[in-house]
Amino acid sequence: MFVSKSEKETREFGRNLAKQLKEKDIVCIYGDLGAGKTCLVKGIVDGLGLTNEYVRSPTFPIINKYDGKSPVYHLDFYRIEATKEIEELGIEEFFGKEGVTLIEWPEKIVKYLPQAQCKIKIKILGEKKRGLRVNFLR
């Protein structure tokens, strides 16, 4: 487990993790509200060579796409409550596409998820301290 002591370290962890990601990877990011999931996504996006200045939690739009040499799809299912909402989104079209798909709150769409290639669990250890555990499933 990597222990981050700041947002800066969490972003750096994401930048380094991005070097291990491959085209069409699906990354599921687990953690409580405020754990730093979006902060980690900013680091991953930066590490994939895209600007992270526009990265924000897509809680309301649910899906953000960041364009670059290869796209990054950032999905956040925090506010999804009903199966019907998931089905209406057509999220299956984001799985196995070009680029990398990053999913926050994947536990809300388990029934619809293909096998993720990477699972990241973030645990709050203190005010700024986070434990990050990565599991590649290749």
User: pLDDT 10s per residue in the chain (138 long)?
Assistant: 999 999 999 999 999 999 999 988 999 999 999 999 999 999 999 999 887 666 766 555 677 888 878 889 888 888 877 666 767 776 767 676 788 999 999 998 888 887 778 999 999 999 999 999 999 986
Q: What is d(CA 103, CA 31) in angstroms, rounded to the nearest whole number?
A: 11
> For residue 12, which of 57, 43, 54 has the smallest C-alpha distance?
43
- pLDDT in the model for residue 54: 65
| CATH architecture of the domain with range 2-136 | 3-Layer(aba) Sandwich (3.40)
Q: In this predicted structure, what is the pLDDT of residue 63?
A: 79
Retrieve residue 17's tokens. 């993790």
Residues 2/13, Cβ–Cβ less than 8 Å: yes
- Annotated domain spans of the chain: 2-136
